[in-house]
Amino acid sequence: MQRRHVLVLAGAAGAASLGAHAQVTDLNDAINKAGRQRMLSQRMGKAWLALVHQTESASAQTVLDKSMALFDRQLTELKAFAPGAEIRDTYTRLEAAWSDYKATLVGSAPGKAGAPAVLQADARVLALAHLGTQQYEATSGKPLGKLVNIAGRQRMLTQRMAKFYFAATLPVDAATASAEIGKARQEFVTAMELLRNAPEATPRIKEELALADGQWVFFDQALQRLQGGAAAKPLSDVFVTSENLLSVMDRVTGLYASVKS
C-alpha cells in the first residue's frame, strides 16, 4: 500500500515536469509538443472520469488542472511557431475545439451524466491535435521526426487506454470502450518494437524503453481486470500505472527529439 502511494506521488511529480521549457526550439521539439497535445486530450478525460469514480481524487484533480494549463500554454507556442498557413489554420481550429472541451470539463461537477459529452469533446480535440502533429512531421520530412511522432503517440495511447477503462467501468458505452482499449493495446505493443529497433535508438533511449516495458507489465495487468468490475483498487491501479508509464514515454520522446540527425 505504501509503495502504491509512492507511485502516485511519483506519477504526479512526473506530470508536473512535462513540457518544462517554454517555447518551441525546433521542428523536433514542435513534433514533441504537438504530440503531447494529443496525450493531454486523453489525460484530461481520464482525470475527469477518475473524479467521477472518486478514484485518486487529489491526484486526478492535480492532473486535470496541470494538463489544462499545459495544453493552453503549448497551444499558444505551437500556433506561434507554425511555419505555414495550413498549420496555423489547424491550430486555429484546435483552439475552437479546445474551448468547447474546456467548457465541458469545468462547466459542471464531474458526473456520469456528463461523460458522453466529455468523450465526444476529447475526440474532436485529439483529431485536430493529431493532424497538427502529422503536419509538423511532414514539414520536418526526416526519419527522426517520424520517430518523435511515434514515441509521442505512445504517451497518448497510455492515457487513452486508461480513459476508456474508466468509461467502461461507469459504464458509458462499455462495448466501444473495451474495443478501443484492445485496439490501442495492439498499437502500443507494435510501436514499442519499432522504437526499440530503430537505428536512431541510443543506449539511453534503449534503457528508458526497457523501463517502459517493465511499467507496461503493471499497466497491462491492471487493464486486464476490466471484467472484474469497478472495484476501487483496480481503478486506482489503472490511474497510477498509466501515470508512471506516461512519465517514462515522455522521457523517451524527449530523447528522440534531442537526437542530432
d(CA 140, CA 31): 9
196 Cβ contact partners less than 8 Å away, ≥ 6 residues apart: 206, 209
Closest CA to 24 of 79, 78, 102, 103: 78
Task: Evaluate the CA torsion angle 31, 34, 40, 42 in order and state its sign.
Answer: negative
**pLDDT number for residue 260:** 84
252 Cβ contact partners less than 8 Å away, ≥ 6 residues apart: 151, 154, 195, 205, 208, 209, 212
Question: Could you read off the pLDDT tens digit of each residue along the chain, which spans 261 residues?
Answer: 344 444 444 444 445 456 555 799 999 999 999 999 999 999 999 999 999 999 999 999 999 999 999 999 999 999 999 999 999 999 999 999 999 999 999 999 999 999 999 999 999 999 999 999 999 999 999 999 999 999 999 999 999 999 999 999 999 999 999 999 999 999 999 999 999 999 999 999 999 999 999 999 999 999 988 765 555 678 999 999 999 999 999 999 999 999 986
**pLDDT number for residue 13:** 45
Residue with cell string 506516461: 246
Rounded to a whole number of angstroms, the distance between the first and last alpha carbons of the chain is: 45
How do the domains of the chain map onto residue ranges?
Answer: 22-258
How many Cα atoms are found within 13 Å in the side-chain-facing hemisphere of 97? 23
